[in-house]
């Protein structure tokens, strides 16, 4: 029993940067994200026995964190204290220069990700950034695999349009990407 807590504890600390990155992309503001990470760690330690060895620790943690976030959003929504999170865009950082530049040129990738609908952003993060499989992402998000795929495809389409990615890098590049 103490092994489970010990193991979760050790992995938790090593995993903090990734957990925080996912949290920031969910709440898009660092203060709230840090509180959320802390709450998720507490929850994970309290239920360490429920982590099944051999399954992905990162997926388990993302799921705990995301469920806490959903609860929190519901509370805020119903309590009328929502201090419009959708207006905050913290992923790309608050660089005035970059904002000015974005008006002239295409958006940076970070900006484009920041502006995706929540449900697309989270699936893009889980699959493309955190490298979860579709199945694992579906489990984290509690949705069918088909939903993961359609959200993911839409996310990439908007991302490509917003940033000017065309996919025309040539065959050798693409094959390299496939084999990575």
Partner 1 sequence: MTRADFSDDILMRFADGELDAETSAEIERAMETDDELVSRVGLFIETRQAAKAAMQSLLDEPLPAELEAAVGRMVAEKTSAQSAPSASVLAFPRRAANDRRASRWLVAAASLAAVFAGLGGYWLGGRGEPPSGGALPLAAVSSPALAEALATVASGEERQLLASNQRFRAIATFRDSAQALCREFELDSADRSTVVSVACRAGSEWRVTFAVAAPGGSGGYAPASSTETLDAYLTAIDAGPPLEAGEEAKALADLREVRQ
Segment near partner 1 (CB under 8 A); pick from 53-61, 71-79, 98-106: 71-79
Report in angstroms how near the CB of residue 105 gets to partner 1 at its nearest: 15
Segment near partner 1 (CB under 8 A); pick from 52-60, 62-70, 95-103: 62-70
Task: Check residue 54 for interaction with partner 1 (CB under 8 A).
Answer: no
Task: Check residue 101 for interaction with partner 1 (CB under 8 A).
Answer: no
Binding residues with partner 1: total (CB under 8 A): 75
Helix or strand (DSSP H, E) at 17: helix 2-27
- Dihedral sign from CA coordinates of 92, 98, 103, 109: negative
CA 126 to chain centre: 6
CA 116 to chain centre: 12
In the window 134-153, what residues touch partner 1 (CB under 8 A)?
Answer: 134, 142-143, 149, 152-153
- Residue 55: other Cβ atoms inside 10 A: 11
Q: How far apart are the C-alpha atoms of 172 and 176, rounded to whole Å?
A: 6
Residue from the set 80, 83, 86, 103 that interacts with partner 1 by CB under 8 A = 80
CB 16, CB 8: distance < 8 Å = no
In the window 105-134, what residues touch partner 1 (CB under 8 A)?
Answer: 108-110, 113, 124-125, 127-129, 133-134
Place of tokens 């890098």: 169
Residue from the set 56, 57, 63, 119 that interacts with partner 1 by CB under 8 A = 63
Q: Which of 39, 38, 53 is nearest to 8 (CA)?
A: 53
Report in angstroms how near the CB of residue 48 gets to partner 1 at its nearest: 8
The site map against partner 1 for 1-30 (x = CB under 8 A) is xx--xx--xx-xx--xxx-xx--xx----x
Alpha helices, DSSP H, located in 47-95: 57-79
Report in angstroms how near the CB of residue 75 gets to partner 1 at its nearest: 6
Task: Check residue 166 for interaction with partner 1 (CB under 8 A).
Answer: yes
């Amino acid at each position: 029993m103490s092994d489970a807590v010990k193991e979760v504890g050790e992995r938790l600390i090593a995993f903090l940067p990734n957990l925080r990155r996912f949290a920031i992309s969910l709440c898009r503001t660092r203060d709230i994200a840090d509180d959320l990470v802390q709450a998720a760690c507490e929850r994970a330690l309290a239920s360490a026995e429920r982590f099944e060895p051999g399954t992905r620790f990162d997926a388990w943690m993302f799921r705990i964190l995301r469920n806490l976030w959903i609860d929190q959003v519901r509370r805020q929504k119903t309590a009328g204290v929502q201090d419009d999170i959708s207006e905050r865009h913290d992923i790309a950082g608050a660089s005035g220069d970059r904002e000015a530049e974005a008006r002239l040129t295409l958006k940076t990738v970070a900006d484009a990700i920041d502006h995706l609908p929540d449900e697309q952003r989270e699936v893009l993060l889980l699959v493309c950034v955190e490298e979860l499989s579709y199945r694992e992402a579906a489990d984290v998000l509690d949705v069918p695999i088909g939903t993961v795929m359609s959200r993911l495809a839409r996310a990439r389409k908007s991302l490509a349009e917003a940033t000017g990615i065309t996919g025309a890098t040539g065959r050798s590049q693409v094959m390299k990407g496939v084999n990575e």
